């Protein structure tokens, strides 16, 4: 009986010792892994921004293929969420939702694991010469965790970087493998990519312009649109762009446009319209604007070769402001071909 008492006292002593030590351990944990994936951010972001695509690359989806998933009505972006139920101890039950995004560059999620509390994950995408640097991180501080589990969780935190970090590395590797399997397209010497475009309202000015006046006219029209936003104390959405309806006998039918964040008051010749949701074939071109003309025919030929039908006039998105960069060799323009399959 004395031995049993000694054992019990020893266990109690060890318990209180470990409990006391837990108060000295950090309550916050941070895990982070990065990988350069040979793709554009536009190709990677949809796989992260849509939860129904996570099944293709999330390491936890691979652990239990019988888990039950329920998605809400928001397909992508802020507000999208899903919940899961699994008997697998490493998957369990929980819910995740997207709480912050910035297209093609940043995404933040909140995850509530049953009995484990709340954690936050972020994905940061930055373009490099070799592709896109994808950084996946997780932060937790015991929020929402049952009080009795907090001391145990602090000990788990000591090993979290090694355990969860390996899962992050696996997920990023799976992302890389999925991207590598995507079809590759080329328009002339440039690599092209397919994007899902969700639609956008814009303000614009449409005019038929003689070729020798094209540059000056478009510059003046952009100045008029910029003045409209300035007077309304608003900022345009995205970068300036043109819709190039047709060209014939050195006359160009062009709409000069800027994305509109919310309803605005306009008067002629400025109008408000909407770019419909569509699939886009996009090529990023670097150089002076005169070099773009050769890519139009090559772009339509490529669509025909892939059995893709144009669904609207091609567009040019001007990623470089010539007034800020005098060297035309550094100007970056995205040439867009809307299409249907």
- The reply to whether 176 and 196 lie within a common domain is no
Of 180, 202, 232, the residue at which a domain comes to its end is 180
The residue-averaged pLDDT of 16-26 equals: 41
pLDDT in tens, 220-259: 999 999 999 999 999 998 899 999 998 888 999 999 999 9
- The reply to whether 199 and 174 lie within a common domain is no
- The reply to whether 85 and 224 lie within a common domain is no
pLDDT in tens, 90-146: 778 889 999 998 878 999 999 887 766 788 899 999 988 888 999 999 887 765 555
Does residue 79 lie within any of the structural domains? yes
> Is residue 169 scored above 80 in pLDDT?
yes
The predicted model scores a pTM of 0.60
The residue-averaged pLDDT of 309-319 equals: 93
CA angle 142, 145, 146 (to 5 degrees): 135
Confidence of residue 58 (pLDDT cuts 50, 70, 90): confident
What average pLDDT is seen over the chain? 83
The residue-averaged pLDDT of 31-57 equals: 88
- The reply to whether 162 and 196 lie within a common domain is no
CB 117 within 8 A of CB 106: no
> Is residue 156 scored above 70 in pLDDT?
no
Q: 150-180 and 2-22 helices cross at what angle (nearest 10)?
A: 60
The CA distances from residue 288 to 57, 184, 187, 219, 299, in Å, are 40, 25, 17, 15, 18
Residue 70 structural domain: 24-180
> Is residue 22 scored above 60 in pLDDT?
no
> Is residue 20 scored above 70 in pLDDT?
no
The CA distances from residue 120 to 78, 98, 100, in Å, are 14, 10, 11
Does residue 255 lie within any of the structural domains? yes
Dist CA 277 CA 311 (whole Å): 11
- The reply to whether 126 and 256 lie within a common domain is no
> Is residue 198 scored above 60 in pLDDT?
yes
Q: Which residues are registered as beta bridge partners of 259? A: 202, 237
Does residue 246 lie within any of the structural domains? yes
- The reply to whether 32 and 172 lie within a common domain is yes
């Amino acid at each position: 009986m004395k031995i049993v008492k000694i054992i019990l006292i020893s266990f109690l002593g060890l318990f209180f010792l470990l409990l006391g030590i837990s108060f000295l351990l950090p309550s916050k944990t941070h895990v982070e892994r990065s990988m350069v994936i040979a793709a554009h951010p536009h190709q990677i972001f949809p796989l992260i921004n849509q939860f129904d695509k996570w099944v293709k690359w999330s390491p936890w989806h691979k652990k239990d293929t019988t888990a039950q998933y329920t998605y809400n009505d928001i397909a992508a972006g802020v507000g999208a969420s899903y919940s899961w139920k699994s008997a697998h101890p490493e998957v369990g039950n929980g819910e995740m939702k997207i709480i912050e995004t910035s297209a093609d560059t940043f995404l933040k999620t909140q995850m509530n694991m049953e009995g484990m509390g709340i954690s936050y994950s972020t994905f940061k995408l930055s373009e490099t010469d070799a592709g896109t640097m994808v950084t996946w991180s997780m932060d937790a501080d015991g929020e929402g965790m049952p009080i009795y589990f907090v001391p145990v969780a602090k000990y788990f935190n000591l090993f979290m970087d090694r355990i969860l970090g390996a899962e992050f590395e696996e997920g990023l590797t799976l992302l890389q493998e999925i991207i590598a399997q995507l079809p590759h397209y080329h328009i002339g010497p440039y690599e092209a990519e397919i994007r899902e475009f969700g639609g956008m309202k814009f303000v614009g000015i449409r005019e038929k312009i003689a070729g020798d006046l094209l540059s000056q006219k478009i510059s003046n029209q952009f100045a008029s649109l910029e003045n409209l936003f300035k007077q309304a104390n608003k900022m345009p959405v995205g970068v300036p762009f043109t819709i190039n309806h047709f060209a014939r006998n050195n006359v160009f039918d062009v709409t000069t446009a800027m994305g509109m964040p919310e309803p605005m008051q306009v008067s002629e010749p400025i109008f408000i319209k909407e770019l419909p949701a569509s699939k886009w074939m996009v090529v990023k071109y670097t150089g002076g604007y005169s070099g773009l003309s050769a890519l139009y025919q090559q772009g339509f030929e490529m669509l025909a070769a892939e059995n893709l039908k144009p669904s609207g006039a091609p567009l040019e998105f001007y990623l470089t402001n010539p007034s800020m960069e005098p060297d035309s060799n550094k100007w970056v323009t995205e040439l867009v071909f809307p299409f249907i399959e």
